[in-house]
Amino acid sequence: MPDLNLYNNSTCFHGGAFFEAIGVEFNNLKRKETIINADVLDAWFPPAPKIEKIIQKDLGWIMKTSPPIHAEGLIRTISSRRNIDRSSILIGSGSSDLIFRILPYWLNSSSKVLLLDPTYGEYSHILKNIIRCKVEYFNLRREEGYKLNTDNLAKKLNEEFDLFVWVNPNNPTGLHIKKDEMEILLTNTKGCKRIWIDETYIEYAGRDQSLERFAEKSENIFICKSMSKVYALSGLRAAYLCASPLNIEKLKSLIPPWSMSLPAQIAATFALQEEDYYIKKYQATHALRDNLYLKLKGLGINEVIPGVANFLTFHLPEGSKPTSLILAKCVKNNLYLRNISTMGVSVNNAIRMAVKDNTTNNKMLKIFENSIKS
């Protein structure tokens, strides 16, 4: 298992410990066939076949050729497919690229920021360890199933914050607040200078749940859209920000030319055009996740959070062996799961498991069962 002490200050731990088996110099890529990398949330399905065909056909040219400077074609495709204006879109090389460029531009050590707890750990890391903001947490309580009470959140936001970060569906809980409820809250919130909504997993809840068009007409809403998890493009790094044209214009100077590689631009552009393929994969993901949920319950794991995305988070029963010991046993059998204790001050004794294909899910459950019993 990775030494989490290495990730306390300069970097944020994300999972991905399976690369210790493969080798970060990529000298043992054959190991990818024997490990189960369920500690990260990469899609279990491949990119749309059309994408792989196009890239493979012209791979030599793609690798040696400089991409469009500002991903103009991808921006046009996003605009057309999402029905938002081109001037409302800012391209980034993955959501972390946008987070690390934009948040330090907005904030300083005197800024006051509100985060959910638990939520995606990158936000707490950059705010506390890099920018050194004043961070407050809106606690999602275990005894309430980590559900977000939007009435209480609205009251909290009236305390005046420079930024509120809202991951929806949330990670690691996978719980989703519906678009209509969010719009009511956001329309009536006057005490927050900026609101950053991370929609990395929103397509699993339904494409119609995105707040892109709402943000485009707002003065203070910013929608961060990773294309990694829902389009099976994690290795290529593609993302975009959606906000009002005025807000986007202020941020354009932060993005250097050629910030997104040519393979990423090509793959993201064609992924947006393959909606039918991906919708079928989201439907299959829901079925796989629901089956995984039931089988975890069958192992005596009664506290499973019923999320909507491509993962499940659950607490081990009282009296179980330490989480670290169970996960170490899983690793010995090539299964990598995520200990989410680093994703919030309010979670402990909890594990996040990515959804895989049915065969891999069954292997994963068998290894996990043996690890909790042995």
Per-residue confidence at 334, pLDDT binned at 50, 70, 90? Answer: very high
* Last residue within a domain, chosen from 274, 299, 315: 274
Residues 248 and 102 in one domain: yes
- 141 occurs within a structural domain: yes
Residues 111 and 240 in one domain: yes
For residue 354, pLDDT over 60 is answered with yes
**pLDDT at res. 297:** 97
**pLDDT at res. 11:** 52
**pLDDT at res. 5:** 41
For residue 280, pLDDT over 60 is answered with yes
Query: Counting runs of H as helices and runs of E as strands, what totals does the chain give?
Result: 16, 13
Instruction: Identify whether the C-beta of residue 172 lies closer than 8 Å to the C-beta of residue 307.
Output: no
**pLDDT at res. 14:** 56
- Give the mean pLDDT of 153-175: 96
The candidate with the shortest Cα–Cα distance to 287, out of 337, 353, 356, is 356
Output helix, strand, coil percentages for the chain, rounded to the nearest 5: 45, 15, 40
Cβ count within 10 A of residue 321: 13
Beta-bridged to residue 218, according to DSSP, are: none
Residues 107 and 184 in one domain: yes
Biggest CA pair distance of the chain: 59
For residue 15, pLDDT over 60 is answered with no
The candidate with the shortest Cα–Cα distance to 172, out of 352, 37, 310, is 352
Instruction: Identify whether the C-beta of residue 118 lies closer than 8 Å to the C-beta of residue 146.
Output: yes
Please give the Cα distance from 350 to 141 (Å, whole number). Answer: 13
Q: Taking the model in full, what pTM does it have?
A: 0.93
Residues 177 and 282 in one domain: no
For residue 2, pLDDT over 50 is answered with no
Task: Round the average pLDDT of the chain to a whole number and report it.
Answer: 93
**pLDDT at res. 303:** 95
Give me the residue label for tokens 């796989």: 288
Residues 267 and 285 in one domain: no
- 57 occurs within a structural domain: no
- 82 occurs within a structural domain: yes
The candidate with the shortest Cα–Cα distance to 118, out of 155, 146, 143, 149, is 146
**pLDDT at res. 17:** 72
- 371 burial type by CB count under 10 A (0-12 exposed, 13-18 middle, 19+ buried): buried
Residues 211 and 298 in one domain: no
Give me the residue label for tokens 């498991």: 353
The candidate with the shortest Cα–Cα distance to 296, out of 308, 288, 306, 304, is 304
> Higher-confidence residue: 5 or 137?
137
Residues 10 and 150 in one domain: no
* Last residue within a domain, chosen from 274, 299, 329: 274
- 201 occurs within a structural domain: yes
**pLDDT at res. 20:** 77
Domain enclosing residue 352, as ranges:
4-48+276-373
Residues 213 and 310 in one domain: no
Residues 343 and 365 in one domain: yes
For residue 365, pLDDT over 50 is answered with yes
* Last residue within a domain, chosen from 217, 250, 274: 274
**Mind listing the pLDDT tens digit for each residue in 18-37?**
777 777 777 777 777 889 99
Low-confidence winner among 132-141, 184-193, 250-259, 289-298 (lowest mean pLDDT): 184-193
Instruction: Identify whether the C-beta of residue 211 lies closer than 8 Å to the C-beta of residue 167.
Output: no
Give me the residue label for tokens 């090539």: 334
For residue 8, pLDDT over 50 is answered with no
- Give the mean pLDDT of 149-165: 95
Residues 160 and 42 in one domain: no
- 62 occurs within a structural domain: no
For residue 3, pLDDT over 50 is answered with no
Please give the Cα distance from 231 to 282 (Å, whole number). Answer: 10
What is the DSSP annotation of 193-249? S-EEEE-TTHHHH-GGG--HHHHHT-SSEEEEEE-HHHHT-TTT--EEEE--HHHHH
> Higher-confidence residue: 272 or 25?
272
CA distances from 144 to 4, 73, 167, 181, 350 (A): 29, 45, 18, 19, 15
**Mind listing the pLDDT tens digit for each residue in 92-133?**
999 999 999 999 999 999 999 999 999 999 999 999 999 999
For residue 185, pLDDT over 80 is answered with yes
- Give the mean pLDDT of 308-328: 94
- 181 occurs within a structural domain: yes
Please give the Cα distance from 268 to 74 (Å, whole number). Answer: 7
What is the DSSP annotation of 106-130? H--TT-EEEEEES--HHHHHIIIII
- Please report, for the domain that includes residue 35, its CATH number: 3.90.1150.10
Residues 162 and 309 in one domain: no
- 360 occurs within a structural domain: yes
Backbone phi, then psi, for 327, in 5-degree steps? -65, -35
DSSP assignment letter at 79? H
**pLDDT at res. 193:** 96
Please give the Cα distance from 258 to 22 (Å, whole number). Answer: 30
- Please report, for the domain that includes residue 269, its CATH number: 3.40.640.10
Please give the Cα distance from 18 to 243 (Å, whole number). Answer: 36
- 248 burial type by CB count under 10 A (0-12 exposed, 13-18 middle, 19+ buried): buried
Per-residue confidence at 16, pLDDT binned at 50, 70, 90? Answer: low
Residues 222 and 283 in one domain: no
Low-confidence winner among 88-102, 203-217, 344-358 (lowest mean pLDDT): 344-358
For residue 348, pLDDT over 90 is answered with no
Instruction: Identify whether the C-beta of residue 244 lies closer than 8 Å to the C-beta of residue 88.
Output: yes
- 58 occurs within a structural domain: no
In total, how many domains does the chain have?
Answer: 2
